[in-house]
């Protein structure tokens, strides 16, 4: 029996991969049917390999490998949709990558870097007027004529895919248990099963922790910690706007900029915000929702001013303390598959194939072996940058975020002063705490704010 803890996109992808190879009745997926705070119900969900890159993003071999696998996964989405009876219109290709002036030069550098990577990897793209996308009609002070069309990057309808995939797996015979796991029942180096909230026990021969950002709450020992990348998207309705493609900016200040994707009918999803924390926040912050609404109206389509605000989606990205995935074996028969952070959807078809192989002790490709070597749970957080470089990057990211949220220095040098303030803030933190080794920029605020301790990173 294969017991998968967690019913988000990653848990379902594992079940899908296993269902190709073992009797589906041997597969059990456990998770609350409502999926509270699940990242998978909050995502957009875009399928981007190139559009999320930043300068220097591929300088480490690990990043290059992950990037190549993300492209491999993108190519698997079409057949995955067909195989699991996911409605074809839940999967759309075509992204307009936009460079506008709603944030600072950090975004320009990312845009140029993406263009460089597109050329380096001979990826098809075209310089276009962004107005080729019918949903693009921004406020006049935010208009842009600088855009690239990426025909092989797209989006899936997130909850649509999750529900269709679950229905398809159930029809094959996979069992879904609407419950929350409270503990693993271990004996020596094995896990015998899991205990549910009501005391019931489910037994498993192989157990996978795929419960997103709470995965390491069930397995604290000898495993890099996974915490929450709290994020929101919103859904807007406007029958007057016709959408074909995703419109998005490059990443900005610790998140993915503004994106706008056709969702279904006259609905659009706009994303996304990001807050790294160990707290289980209950609702999105007002500033986050305000930023998404403003971004949609100002930067994508001014007609969104009269759109209906249908809802927000809210969930916790699973983020490990070095921001890489956490995938691998925990004991003789227990595995973890978490930490997908911003690309759990994008990677789902690749994970389906390769995680099922890992669970079944099947031979893996050299690339998959190398990938699972660096995603191993028993690692300390990877850091390759000096404290100086990390502090400079932190300052640049903070200023990018500020500019995105409307900060304008006017005719003063306040922007320079603020960048220097953030640089000193990070340097002071590292010096006061006698830190010789940097951490990933994303975690500095959580460390300074006391949500994380440096001991968590060892």
CA pair distance 324, 372, nearest whole angstrom: 11
Stretch that binds ligand FAD, among 56-64, 106-114, 287-295, 335-343 (CB under 6 A): 335-343
Dihedral angle, C-alpha 407, 249, 269, 137, nearest 10 °: 90
Q: Which of 252, 317, 379, 398 binds ligand FAD (CB under 6 A)?
A: 317
By CB under 6 A, tell whether 32 contacts ligand FAD. Answer: yes
Q: Which value, in Å, is the radius of gyration of the alpha carbons in the chain?
A: 22
H helices present in 121-233, as ranges: 158-172
Q: Which of 42, 110, 247, 330 binds ligand FAD (CB under 6 A)?
A: 42
Stretch that binds ligand FAD, among 54-62, 184-192, 337-345, 441-449 (CB under 6 A): 337-345
Distant-in-sequence, close-in-space partners of 393: CB < 8 Å, separation ≥ 6: 385, 441
CB of 66 or CB of 317, closer to ligand FAD:
317
CB of 47 or CB of 441, closer to ligand FAD:
47
- In degrees and rounded to multiples of 5, residue 303 shows phi and psi of -65, -15
By CB under 6 A, tell whether 73 contacts ligand FAD. Answer: no
By CB under 6 A, tell whether 228 contacts ligand FAD. Answer: no
CB of 77 or CB of 457, closer to ligand FAD:
77
Q: Which of 15, 16, 18, 43 binds ligand FAD (CB under 6 A)?
A: 43
CA pair distance 210, 7, nearest whole angstrom: 8
CB of 312 or CB of 457, closer to ligand FAD:
312
Dihedral angle, C-alpha 195, 199, 200, 201, nearest 10 °: 30
By CB under 6 A, tell whether 35 contacts ligand FAD. Answer: yes
CA pair distance 278, 220, nearest whole angstrom: 14
Strands (E) in 221-266, as ranges, are 226-237, 246-248, 259-264
Q: From the CB of 182, what's the least distance to ligand FAD, in Å?
A: 7
Q: Which of 315, 328, 349, 377 binds ligand FAD (CB under 6 A)?
A: 315
Q: By CB under 6 A, what part of segment 108-167 binds ligand FAD? A: none
CA pair distance 290, 270, nearest whole angstrom: 12
Task: Pull the structure tokens for residue 287.
Answer: 């500033």
Please give the residue ranges that form the binding site for ligand FAD (CB under 6 A): 5-11, 30-32, 35-36, 38-40, 42-46, 180-181, 210-214, 231-233, 271-272, 315, 317-318, 338, 340-346
């Amino acid at each position: 029996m294969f017991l998968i803890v967690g019913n988000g996109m990653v848990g379902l992808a594992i079940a899908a991969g296993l269902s190709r190879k073992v009797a589906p009745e041997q597969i059990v997926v456990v998770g609350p049917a409502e999926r509270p705070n699940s990242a998978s119900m909050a995502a957009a969900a875009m399928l981007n390999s190139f559009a999320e890159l930043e300068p220097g993003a591929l300088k480490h071999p690990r990043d290059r490998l992950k990037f190549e696998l993300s492209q491999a996964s993108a190519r698997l989405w079409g057949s995955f949709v067909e195989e699991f009876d996911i409605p074809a219109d839940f999967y759309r290709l075509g992204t307009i990558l936009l460079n506008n002036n709603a944030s600072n030069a950090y975004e320009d550098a990312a845009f140029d870097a993406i263009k460089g990577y597109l050329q380096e990897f001979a990826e098809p793209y075209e310089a276009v007027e962004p107005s080729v996308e019918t949903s693009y009609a921004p406020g006049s002070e935010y208009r842009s004529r600088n855009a690239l069309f990426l025909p092989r990057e797209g989006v899936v309808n997130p909850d649509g895919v999750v529900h269709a995939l679950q229905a398809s797996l159930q029809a094959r015979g996979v069992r879904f248990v609407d419950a929350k796991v409270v503990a693993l029942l271990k004996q020596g180096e094995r896990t015998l099963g899991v205990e549910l909230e009501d005391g019931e026990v489910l037994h498993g021969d192989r157990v996978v922790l795929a419960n997103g950002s709470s995965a390491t709450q069930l397995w604290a020992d000898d495993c890099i910690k996974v915490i929450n990348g709290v994020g929101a998207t919103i859904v807007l309705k406007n029958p007057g706007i016709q959408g074909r493609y995703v419109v998005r900016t490059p990443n900005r200040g610790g998140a993915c900029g503004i994106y706008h994707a056709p969702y279904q009918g006259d609905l659009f999803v706009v994303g996304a915000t990001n807050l790294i924390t160990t707290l289980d926040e209950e609702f999105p912050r007002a500033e986050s929702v305000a930023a998404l609404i403003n971004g949609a109206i100002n930067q994508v389509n001014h007609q969104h001013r009269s759109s209906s605000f249908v809802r927000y989606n809210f969930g916790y990205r699973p983020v490990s303390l070095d921001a890489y995935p956490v995938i691998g074996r925990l004991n003789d028969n227990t595995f973890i598959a978490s930490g997908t952070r911003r690309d759990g959807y994008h990677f789902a078809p690749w994970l389906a194939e390769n995680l099922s192989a890992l669970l079944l002790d099947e031979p893996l490709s050299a690339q998959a072996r190398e990938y699972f070597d660096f995603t191993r749970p028993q690692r300390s957080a990877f850091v390759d940058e000096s404290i100086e470089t990390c502090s400079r990057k932190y300052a640049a990211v903070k200023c990018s975020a500020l500019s995105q949220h409307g900060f304008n220095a006017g005719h003063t040098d306040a922007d320079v002063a603020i960048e220097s303030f953030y640089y000193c803030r990070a340097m002071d933190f590292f010096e006061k705490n006698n830190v010789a080794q940097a951490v990933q920029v994303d975690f500095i605020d959580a460390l300074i704010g006391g949500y994380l301790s440096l001991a968590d990173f060892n």
